[in-house]
Amino acid sequence: MSGCYVYILLCADGSYYTGTARKSLEQRLAEHNAGTFAGFTAMRRPVELVFSGYFANISDAVAAERKIKGWSRVKKEALIAGRFDLLTDLSKRRKPVHRH
């Protein structure tokens, strides 16, 4: 497989984790729930897969992961719910930027 998945997990504490997987999503989810790797999800188990998307190109998946990690919780929840129509509006700044 030359492609890659980007995924979002719902953690036991209610937080979201975004990552990429070159292997099967089921295997990656099992690794998170087993605490195979130290990191964000290790102390927030169990985790549940709530979103995934496949990219034929690994670099595209990594770019999507980085973008999603910068999103607000509300925007991530719109993506998880499949409300793609809301994503553009949720990208707009809520507060003006003050430049000095």
pLDDT at 4: 96
The pTM is what? Answer: 0.89
Pick out the chain residues at pLDDT < 50. 1
Find out if CATH 3.40.50.2020 is the number for domain 4-71.
no
Q: What is the 3-state secondary structure (H, E, C) of the chain?
A: CCCEEEEEEEECCCCEEEEEECCCHHHHHHHHHHCCCCCHHHHCCCEEEEEEEEECCHHHHHHHHHHHHCCCHHHHHHHHCCCHHHHHHHHCCCCCCCCC
pLDDT tens digits for 62-75?
999 999 999 999 99
